[in-house]
Amino acid sequence: MEAAEQTIRYQPKPDRRGWFDDECRKSLEEKNAAYKKWIERPTRAKRMEYKRLRKIAHKICKNRKRTHMDNRIRNTEENIKGKQIRNAYKEAGSLKAGFQPHTDLCRGTNNEILLKQEEIKTRWKTYFQDL
């Protein structure tokens, strides 16, 4: 593992949500902080503050999603008008498919499904040692 980290270096996963930006992140952090305050000591004022921030965060994220989707649709239309049919079909297919979750599961030696990251790492380690 150390040799791989030295050679390749750590590369964080790219954010696949094109609409999620710093303003969404900030509003969600504020909402989560208000929720923690409300849970620590539940009062009516803290509950109202949490509800207010939750409403704001939902509105911000919803608007970002909507503008992102509008931009993707507009981009697809421009590809069709610009005779870039391959790009248009590729984008239309991704719009049509919707959310596709990526699983990071692995099967063990006895064909059982491994869920924990440490188990998956040790399985890959044994797999490459056996090669």
Is the domain of 73 the same as that of 108? no
Q: How far apart are CA 125 and CA 119, in angstroms?
A: 10
3-state secondary structure of 113: strand
Whether residues 93 and 120 fall in one domain: no
Residue 105 pLDDT level (bands cut at 50, 70, 90):
confident
Beta bridge partners of 113: 107
Which pLDDT score, from 0 to 100, does residue 50 have?
97
Q: Where are the beta strands (DSSP E) in 14-125?
A: 106-107, 113-114
- 5 within domain boundaries: no
Within 10 angstroms of residue 16's Cβ, the number of other Cβ atoms is 9
pTM above threshold 0.75: no
- Can you tell me whether residue 13 is helix, strand or coil? coil
The residue range of the domain holding 56 is 17-100
Q: What is the pLDDT of residues 32-71, one digit of tens each?
A: 999 999 999 999 999 999 999 999 999 999 999 999 999 9
Q: Spell out the residues 6+ positions from residue 61 whose beta carbon is closer than 8 angstroms to its own.
A: 19, 20, 24, 27, 28
95 and 34 in a common domain:
yes
- H-helix or E-strand spanning residue 8: helix 2-8
Residue 21 and residue 69 in one domain: yes
Please tell me the predicted confidence (pLDDT) of residue 1: 65
Amino acid at residue number 30: E
Total domain count for the chain? 2
Of 57-61, 100-104, 123-127, which one has max mean pLDDT? 57-61
Residue 96 lies in a domain: yes
What is the per-residue pLDDT across 1-12, written as a single tens digit (0 to 9) for each? 677 777 777 777
Q: Are residues 90 and 26 in the same domain?
A: yes
